Amino acid sequence: MKKITIDAVNEKYNVYIGDCLHLLESYIKPKQKVLIITDETVKSLHFDTLKQYVKTPYVFSLGKIPEKDKNFITYEACVNYCLNHFLDRNLLVLAFGGGVVTDFAGFFASTYKRGIKLIHLPTTILAHDSSVGGKTALNVSQYKNVVGSFYQPKSVIYHLPFLKTLKEKDIVSGFGEIFKHDLLSEGYLLDILDKETSLYHLLYNQKLIEKIMYHSILVKKLYIEMDIYDQLGKRQFLNLGHTLGHAIERLYGYSHGEAISLGICFDLFLSDNSYYRTFYHKLIKWGYFKEKQDFDLEKIMISMKNDKKNEEDSLKFIGLYTFGQPYEIQLTEEEFIHKFKQFKQVLLCCMEK
């Protein structure tokens, strides 16, 4: 088991990584009321394991496709559930699931009765990212994460055996944020993973997956601790791949990690960083982009204009001079169109065939 301490200005918390679910007991006081927020899939697969460490009648579950429930309707249902059960501000929320559950439960915990205690129990690869750093979110209409807050958990208990039941598409998705973190440091994991033809069996190599997660969370720690509230221009670098990625995720149903991986290729291309080709070929080898898409530039443009990262009239991307050296790129609409057409020609044409 490994431990990383996050120092979020006035709040410090530990992230435990490995075989660590038993640690949950030490965070629950006798008579503490606990609400588990989860989704239907995680509940059916892993609730029995969780029940060995926490007994509570209060469970609120998002549906089988949790992203569809990351909204105000479900938020209101959750508030009503708690009010109907007379749950007060001493409540502890356990966010038990993937990135959707940690975003949703984080937002809920930050607002219910003006803030209640929160512990993340991430169950997807991607949630190693969403559970650390304190960003919470809800989607509104088709726009992702436009409402949210900064709210730090009391702890993150990342019990890696839960990952073994993930489907291939969620493994592929989860690694997107790992690649991003790695490119924002020294490319150490991309080197290690180069030997692998599939990412799936890594989940059965407990030592290696622990090392990968530890490294990835450590990179995230470095960026967030420089800029906890995302106001000093440092934390925005974690948006590498996200401007184009979010638009593609919304429009074409790509998984989050797959969409941002393509967005990363685009950001590398924008930076004249030739690594975009190598990275793209690695992704293909690991099973990314199996679904062919005919990208509609106009729709992508409209979708990107509503992205919360943009300011005034420009579109904001994150470039990378070299591993670990990100910088901000601003493009006008015309510049984006020009660059995207070039990108389509050199890479995406292979996907669209």
Ligand X SMILES: NC(=O)c1ccc[n+]([C@@H]2O[C@H](COP(=O)([O-])OP(=O)(O)OC[C@H]3O[C@@H](n4cnc5c(N)ncnc54)[C@H](O)[C@@H]3O)[C@@H](O)[C@H]2O)c1
Under the binding rule (CB under 6 A), the answer on residue 100 touching ligand X is: yes
Under the binding rule (CB under 6 A), the answer on residue 248 touching ligand X is: no
Q: Which two tokens stand for residue 62?
A: 């998002």
Shortest reach from residue 325's CB to ligand X, in Å: 22
List 165, 185, 306, 314, residue binding ligand X (CB under 6 A):
165
Closest to 335 in 3D by CA, of 311, 312, 317: 317
31: left (phi over 0), alpha (psi -120 to 50) or beta: left
What would the x/- binding string for ligand X be over residues 173 to 212, using CB under 6 A? Answer: x---x-----------------------------------
List 74, 110, 124, 261, residue binding ligand X (CB under 6 A):
124
Angle, helices 242-252/256-270, rounded to nearest 10 degrees? 140
Shortest reach from residue 261's CB to ligand X, in Å: 13
List 61, 110, 130, 271, residue binding ligand X (CB under 6 A):
130
Report helix, strand or coil for 88: coil
From the list 80-88, 129-137, 224-232, 330-338, the region that binds ligand X by CB under 6 A is 129-137
157, amino acid identity? I
Shortest reach from residue 298's CB to ligand X, in Å: 24
Shortest reach from residue 186's CB to ligand X, in Å: 22
- Report the distance separating Cα 235 and Cα 224, nearest Å: 6
Query: DSSP letter string over 147-200?
Result: EEEE---SEEEEEGGGGGG--HHHHHHHHHHHHHHHHTTT-HHHHHHTT-S-SG
Angle, helices 333-343/297-305, rounded to nearest 10 degrees? 140
Q: Cα angle at 209 between 7 and 117, to 5 degrees?
A: 35
Q: Which one, 177 or 267, has the nearer CB to ligand X? A: 177
Shortest reach from residue 112's CB to ligand X, in Å: 18
What would the x/- binding string for ligand X be over residues 31 to 60, using CB under 6 A? Answer: --------x-xx--x---------------
Q: Which two tokens stand for residue 218?
A: 């450590």
Site residues for ligand X, window 56-85 (CB under 6 A)? 66-67, 70
Q: Which residues bind ligand X (CB under 6 A)?
A: 39, 41-42, 45, 66-67, 70, 97-101, 103, 123-124, 126-127, 129-130, 133, 135, 137, 144-145, 162-163, 165-166, 170, 173, 177, 256
